[in-house]
Amino acid sequence: MAKVVAVIASTHHPFYYRASTATGDDRPPFADEWTAKILAFRETLSRANPDVLVMVGSDHFHQLWLDNMPQFLVGKAPFYDANWHNEEREFGLPRMLLRGQEDLSTHILRNGLDAGFDLAFSNELRIDHSITCPIITLRPEADLPIVPIYTNIFAPPLPQPKRFVQLGQTIRELVEAWPSDLRVAVVGTGHLSLELGGPRQFGPHGPDPAFDERAVGWIANGDLDGALAEVTLDSLHAPGNATHGFMDFMLMMGVAGAGVKADYVDSLDLFHTMEAYFTWYPNGAPGV
């Protein structure tokens, strides 16, 4: 059976690529510290030596729109185009072509349906920065096949937070039941407190530092009970109008397991948002 060699959760700031590649007067003052943190974070994936990446993210109304909004969708294609034109223009993100792992996609889809998740699928999915930015930060070679899984964190009605946790638990079970000897890393990306287009969008830190501190604690300690006791669809409006992306972090806590502390935790208080990076090694840290 396949082995989950790493579970990784991170934010997905689309400005990182431009900031880290800028030179001279164009290089922002925070770029060096940010790059150093990303290089250390990247090593946590490299150490696990995965063969396949299961990538959990959320489409930013690029391909999925109000005419057809699945709650949970599995990509099932041989290749995935990225990024979208506005992401190239606004963030300087490069165009990418990522190889898919169709066998694992099919396995997750079929067995996920049988496990009680009515998963949608797409054979023509084009992916955006919620998946490509973690690839840029964690595996810039973009040489590993992927299984993209999209969640709906933007268009109400949204699934309840507990459903995200349950999907994470199911993804872990399905990957470990895949009849393969390949090594799989599950990489998911979400938000801490975040405001888009509102009065708290730009500041010295995220719109709700108190929420961010609690959220990092929940994730780092695998405190699913604490998170589920406080996080609701209504409560997530208070830390910022885009904070529902935190439910993707809760999904990754489900993958890692309740009560399982992260092996690696780091963060960076950046302008208007806190970046955060977590890694779990289900079979123990490689080389230890």
pLDDT tens sequence across 215-247: 999 999 999 999 999 999 999 999 988 899 999
Q: What are phi and psi of 5, to 5 degrees?
A: -95, -15
Q: Which residue has the tokens 């150490």?
A: 47
pLDDT recorded at residue 288: 56
E strands in the chain: 3-10, 52-57, 72-75, 79-82, 96-99, 120-122, 146-151, 183-189, 264-270, 273-280
pLDDT recorded at residue 13: 87
For residues 69 and 114, the answer to whether their CB atoms sit within 8 Å is: no
Mean pLDDT by 10 residues, the chain (288 residues): 97 89 93 96 98 95 88 97 81 90 98 97 93 95 97 96 98 98 97 84 83 97 97 95 94 98 96 92 82
Structure tokens at 191: 């938000």
Structure tokens at 104: 């694992």
Instruction: Work out whether the CA dihedral 91, 136, 38, 217 comes out positive or negative.
Output: positive
pLDDT recorded at residue 205: 80
